[in-house]
Amino acid sequence: MIKGLLRKTLYTIENFYLSHLLVKNEELRNKHYGKKAFLFATGTSMLGLDLSKFNGEVTLGCNEIFRHPSFPSLDLKYYVAGVPFRQWRQIGPRFTHEDHHQYFLEIDKAFRNKNTTHLYHATVQNYLMKRGLLSGISRYYFLRKSALIDSDEQQLDLAKPVSFIDGGLTAMIVLAMFMGCKEIYLFGCGYTYSPVQSFHFYNCMRCSKDIEKEDMEVAIKSFQLAHPETDFIGTKISNVYLNDAEFLADFSSYVNTEEGSADDYYKVHRLALSLAEANGVRIMNVVPPGYESPVYQKVLIETILS
């Protein structure tokens, strides 16, 4: 209760001082009305996908999408990073202020020669100005009205503080709907699959096709030790062949899918789907073989590329 009250107070203060930054967002309202939007997250299913095939479309990417091998040839229209910046508080031991700075240095370098529109949490605006980062890049900002778990009402108006954004994926979904897109295709959203696909295309376990069984066992143990933040209990490993030389050791696990339960893993996505349906928007989940999509409509990548 106290934590929720402190969070609400923080949002109220930030909204009071930074809401003026949201006025510019009116430029984005219904900018792509009726169009399809292709949203790129960073799950391991992004491996092998040539992003340049989507040039000319309304494309949105988030977080470390700039690390994708085909990113240099992608004409990405919109980029989103949901992380805030608060001088008095680090996000956590795995994302310090120095980590934050290195992250935005990477973003600055990756987008230096791209004509991509960016969306950030409004607390980042002053940080970017002081550091001289992303100069010359078109930037928009959002604010949060309350935490998603504390809100009974969701809305899409990015010209006001919203409650629905709690990370890169939800920020992309809200932005696409705010711009009037009526069909949204999700790529690389492993946390929406069943079983849940762990890790990202840039930190997953890739192995030589010729690796011996004993060496594979050692490699798996080393990989697990290198990721102490991940609970590997109940995780299964499937081998997905990427090319003639290597394969992906694909970690996945089953989670609670009971709708309405206190620990419903897909609660945020059920809210996103309800919000989309209420606004006449379809959300399709591009899912690799061997996985299901418990919430969003499942679509195979072959269907999209054809």
The one-digit pLDDT tens for each residue of the chain (306 residues) are 666 676 777 778 888 889 999 999 999 999 999 999 999 999 999 998 999 999 999 999 999 999 999 999 999 999 999 888 776 555 555 567 788 889 999 999 999 999 999 999 999 999 999 999 999 999 999 998 865 555 556 678 999 998 888 889 999 999 999 999 999 999 999 999 999 988 999 999 999 989 998 999 999 999 999 888 888 877 888 888 777 888 888 888 888 777 777 778 888 899 899 989 999 999 999 998 889 999 999 998 888 876
On whether both 164 and 285 belong to a single domain, the answer is: yes
Distance CA 71, CA 55 (A): 11
On whether both 148 and 206 belong to a single domain, the answer is: no
| Number of domains composing the chain | 2
The domain containing residue 265 runs over which residues?
A: 2-192+258-305
Token reading at 192:
């929406």
Question: CA dihedral defined by 240, 172, 112, 103, rounded to 10 degrees?
Answer: -70
83 contacts 109 by C-beta, under 8 angstroms: no
On whether both 116 and 143 belong to a single domain, the answer is: yes
Tell me the pTM: 0.91
The residues with which 292 forms a beta bridge, in sequence order, are 194
Neighbours of 203 (CB within 10 A): 13
On whether both 65 and 211 belong to a single domain, the answer is: no
Nearest Cα neighbor of 59 from 45, 44, 73 is 73
On whether both 146 and 228 belong to a single domain, the answer is: no
Neighbours of 273 (CB within 10 A): 18
On whether both 170 and 298 belong to a single domain, the answer is: yes
* Residues in CB range of 94: below 8 A, 6 or more apart: 229
What is the C-alpha R_g of the chain?
20
